Homo-oligomer: A and B are copies of this chain.
Amino acid sequence: MRDVFSSTPWYGGDYNPEQWPEQVWDDDVRLMNRAGVNLATVGVFSWSRLEPREGEYDFAWLDHVLDTLHAGEIRVDLATATASPPPWFSRTYPESLPVTADGTRLHPGSRQAYCPSSVAYRTAAARLVRALAERYGRHPALVLWHVNNEYGCHVARCWCDASADAFRQWLRDRYQDIDTLNEAWGTAFWSQRYDSFDEILPPRATPAAPNPTQHLDFDRFSSDELLACYLAEKRILREITPDIPVTTNFMGTFRGADYWKWAPHLDVISDDLYPDPADPDAARTAALARDLMRSLGRGRPWLLMEQSAGAVNWRPSNAPKAPGQMRALSYQAMARGADGILFFQWRQSRKGAEAFHSAMLPHSGTDTRIFREIEELGRELRGLGRVVGTTSTARAALVFDWDSWWAVEQRALPVQSNYLALVAPWHAALTEAGVLVDLVHGDEDLTGYSLVVAPSLFVATDAQIDALDTAARSGATVVVTAQSAILDETLAVRLGGYLGGLQQTLGVWIEEFAPLGGAWQRPGAIPVRDETTRPRTVALTGPVFPDGATGIEWSEVVRPHDAEVRARFTGGPLDGLPALTRRATGPGAAWYLATRLGADDLAVLAGALIEEAGLVTSPVHRGEAHGWVETVRRGDLTFVINHGTAPVDLDLPGVDLLTGHPAGGLRLDPQGVAVVAAA
């Protein structure tokens, strides 16, 4: 198969010429050339134009588009156009429309109005993909197949009858016989025992909390159904064009699909990411998504398939990117493994639901800050061929697990949790300290890492437990946090103190959970007097925290049997009990944190762990930064990005590839970037 990457980074975006008269197309190519665009994603939402009536195809316009691009030396990432069926399709096959858990049928008129399990949809999609592959498989502009678009972004779950049928078949495949399912789901509880697979439904609206394992299996099934849609298209493409790589665009830390299961099937990982410019954490959470993409590809370069040039249009208030912010975030992606920077979209739409989503070429034309920044970045990227294909090595790993995500956000748990809010702060704490972090599923060989953090690994398989234990025994510093290994993969509680085999690794067991309440003023509570609620925090003291620390939302009764206590709860019902423990595991160590920490306290703890793991990094600038100065090593290059609010002066050897100046003494303004090659 051909390599999707060539000698310079890809640069470009979604290109939807069918929204414009043909006379605009030549202007597009001229301006693309001016901006340095070398890749265009075409046809993402073209189904209704390509097949205006069932079985009648109209390819002439697309022939013209591809030829025009090719003439302009712009390569094409050709979409299979199956992301949104045309109106005639839903009218002919109304049973293909998705249905929500409460039985509401979703209708056409926006996009993605199809049930992933619909046979009619899959049949129609396959026919279209075959027609496209046969017509364009040998087109000289074609370098990449773009299957569908953002699978599941609006309809990641469907509860219709066809989905119910498919779910039952998926369960038959998984459990073989109904008794095995009854045992796995614990249907003895609440009189839920099934006598046959035919009785099972998706977790539709129910009077009370649904069966947790049914719910988790439905999450797994739904991810698999979307993946099956992808694989069906990929099979056709591979058959007809075995040498053209195939991708579909991921969406960062997307809850709807378990990307660990998807990633092996993508020839190149690609990602769409839209950090909120008004969110001060934007760069931090974006870094998590970039690291995830690199990790999904097991270190291979990936493609930033979509980002915005300026504002998006789907938040309550859509701030534009600040001057330079688009560039800074683009280099962040590249620093963390991207070999291409693309946008949604090339020319800003004049109509439709994304007319107010920014584009490379704004409504107001080329005499705009946005277009100038687009041109500037295009110019720079042409000089960065040296980056393409290089890789990084991380010595820290963070366990990221969709089963735990889905399970820890269910109802009927000790506390309502937001998985990303449990995981992302750990990534941010390590990343801000300059440590490059791989995301891992947790059951791989982890012995190559010096530091492994498993935050709230709520559902832990024995394989994950073993891998963590092996890492600790092999010399890594392993950190496990509250709400980990409470359940196995069938959501059976790990009895006798939770944690399963990690009890030995960590040297503790857990007697009881003690969420920090405070939520008693819930609907339905009877107010008698206006007293203060119990605090939702608890103080911590211990040598790790010289200034003390504060636990948030969660505490628990930890019973150490073979661990040192490094911090204790102080005051409150758990006064004096362990909050942070450490067990030496020969060359390594296994830590357990029995609460959540805010960013500042987490930075202190992360600092201690980084030091223990021998990962201390040297600063790249002089003086104090006002905000985060991101530093990432990729290949032999060091990317430095100033996300702060004041300039910093670089203090590292080498030459900045962007300016040609020595890096030492270079001043980076806010949003400023340097790509430093060792001298």
- Contact yes or no, A599 B353, CB < 8 A: no
- Contact yes or no, A84 B191, CB < 8 A: yes
Interface residues of A in 56-110 (CB under 8 A from B): 81, 83-88, 91, 98, 102-110
**Closest beta carbon of chain B to A549's beta carbon, Å:** 14
- Known contacts A109-B206, A190-B84, A277-B517; is A354 also within 8 Å of B311 by CB? no
- Contact yes or no, B112 A208, CB < 8 A: yes
- Contact yes or no, A53 B195, CB < 8 A: yes
Instruction: List the B side residues contacting A194 at CB < 8 Å.
Output: 87
- Contact yes or no, B350 A425, CB < 8 A: no
- Contact yes or no, B207 A111, CB < 8 A: yes
- Contact yes or no, B192 A48, CB < 8 A: yes
Instruction: List the B side residues contacting A105 at CB < 8 Å.
Output: 103, 205
Complex CA–CA separation, A282 to B594 (angstroms): 27
- Contact yes or no, B195 A319, CB < 8 A: no
- Contact yes or no, B533 A278, CB < 8 A: yes
Is A169's CB within 8 Å of the partner chain B?
no
Complex CA–CA separation, A319 to B556 (angstroms): 10
- Contact yes or no, B528 A214, CB < 8 A: no
- Contact yes or no, A412 B154, CB < 8 A: no
Complex CA–CA separation, A315 to B415 (angstroms): 8
- Contact yes or no, A195 B87, CB < 8 A: yes
Is A363's CB within 8 Å of the partner chain B?
yes
Question: Which stretch in A333-341, A392-400, A465-473, A506-514 binds the other chain?
Answer: A506-514
- Contact yes or no, A363 B109, CB < 8 A: no
- Contact yes or no, B48 A207, CB < 8 A: no
4 A-B pairs besides A190-B354, A530-B599 with CB distance below 8 A are A109-B192, A109-B203, A192-B352, A320-B513
- Contact yes or no, A211 B315, CB < 8 A: no
Is A227's CB within 8 Å of the partner chain B?
no
Interface mask (A29-69 → B, CB under 8 Å = 1, otherwise 0) = 00000000000000001111100110000000000000000
Complex CA–CA separation, A276 to B50 (angstroms): 55
- Contact yes or no, A110 B322, CB < 8 A: no
Instruction: List the B side residues contacting A497 at CB < 8 Å.
Output: 363-365
Is A362's CB within 8 Å of the partner chain B?
yes
Is A155's CB within 8 Å of the partner chain B?
yes
Instruction: List the B side residues contacting A190 at CB < 8 Å.
Output: 45, 84, 110-111, 352-354
Residue of B nearest to A206 (CB): B110
Interface residues of A in 532-554 (CB under 8 A from B): 532-534, 536, 553
Interface mask (A480-504 → B, CB under 8 Å = 1, otherwise 0) = 0000000000111101111000000
Instruction: List the B side residues contacting A362 at CB < 8 Å.
Output: 511-512
Ranked nearest first, the 6 interchain pairs of A and B with the lowest CB-CB distance are A186-B351, A278-B517, A189-B352, A529-B599, A319-B517, A154-B207
- Known contacts A322-B573, A414-B356, A498-B363; is A104 also within 8 Å of B205 by CB? yes
Complex CA–CA separation, A186 to B194 (angstroms): 49
Instruction: List the B side residues contacting A211 at CB < 8 Å.
Output: 109-110, 352-353
Question: Which stretch in A3-11, A436-444, A519-527, A648-656 binds the other chain?
Answer: A519-527
Could you pull out 10 A-B pairs where Cβ atoms are within 8 angstroms? Answer: A84-B190, A86-B193, A108-B201, A280-B520, A280-B532, A311-B414, A314-B412, A316-B416, A319-B516, A425-B527
Residue of B nearest to A215 (CB): B109
- Contact yes or no, B207 A279, CB < 8 A: no
Interface residues of A in 401-425 (CB under 8 A from B): 411-416, 418, 420-421, 424-425
- Contact yes or no, B113 A189, CB < 8 A: no
Most buried by B among A190, A313, A509, A557: A190
- Contact yes or no, A318 B414, CB < 8 A: yes
- Contact yes or no, B200 A281, CB < 8 A: no
**Closest beta carbon of chain B to A310's beta carbon, Å:** 7
Return the contact of A353 from the options B209, B281, B323 (Cβ within 8 A).
B209
Is A185's CB within 8 Å of the partner chain B?
yes
Is A462's CB within 8 Å of the partner chain B?
no
- Contact yes or no, A87 B193, CB < 8 A: yes
Complex CA–CA separation, A424 to B529 (angstroms): 10
- Contact yes or no, B512 A369, CB < 8 A: yes
Interface residues of A in 173-196 (CB under 8 A from B): 185-195
- Contact yes or no, B514 A320, CB < 8 A: yes
- Contact yes or no, A522 B316, CB < 8 A: yes
Complex CA–CA separation, A276 to B520 (angstroms): 7
Complex CA–CA separation, A97 to B529 (angstroms): 40
- Contact yes or no, B533 A48, CB < 8 A: no
Complex CA–CA separation, A107 to B164 (angstroms): 13
Instruction: List the B side residues contacting A317 at CB < 8 Å.
Output: 414-416, 515-519, 536, 553
Instruction: List the B side residues contacting A19 at CB < 8 Å.
Output: 186, 188-189
- Contact yes or no, B425 A528, CB < 8 A: yes
**Closest beta carbon of chain B to A323's beta carbon, Å:** 7
Is A212's CB within 8 Å of the partner chain B?
yes
Complex CA–CA separation, A526 to B155 (angstroms): 21
Is A642's CB within 8 Å of the partner chain B?
no
Complex CA–CA separation, A83 to B557 (angstroms): 35
Return the contact of A107 from the options B201, B212, B323, B573 (Cβ within 8 A).
B201
Is A370's CB within 8 Å of the partner chain B?
yes
Instruction: List the B side residues contacting A220 at CB < 8 Å.
Output: none
- Contact yes or no, B281 A191, CB < 8 A: no
Instruction: List the B side residues contacting A45 at CB < 8 Å.
Output: 189-191
Complex CA–CA separation, A367 to B509 (angstroms): 11
Instruction: List the B side residues contacting A600 at CB < 8 Å.
Output: 529
- Contact yes or no, A189 B106, CB < 8 A: no
Instruction: List the B side residues contacting A528 at CB < 8 Å.
Output: 281, 284-285, 424-425, 428, 599
Is A624's CB within 8 Å of the partner chain B?
no
Interface residues of A in 349-375 (CB under 8 A from B): 349-356, 362-365, 367-370
Is A134's CB within 8 Å of the partner chain B?
no
- Contact yes or no, A518 B110, CB < 8 A: no
- Known contacts A187-B48, A421-B526; is A353 also within 8 Å of B208 by CB? yes
**Closest beta carbon of chain B to A41's beta carbon, Å:** 15
Is A16's CB within 8 Å of the partner chain B?
yes
- Contact yes or no, B199 A91, CB < 8 A: yes
Instruction: List the B side residues contacting A113 at CB < 8 Å.
Output: 206-207
Return the contact of A493 from the options B52, B111, B363, B420 (Cβ within 8 A).
B363
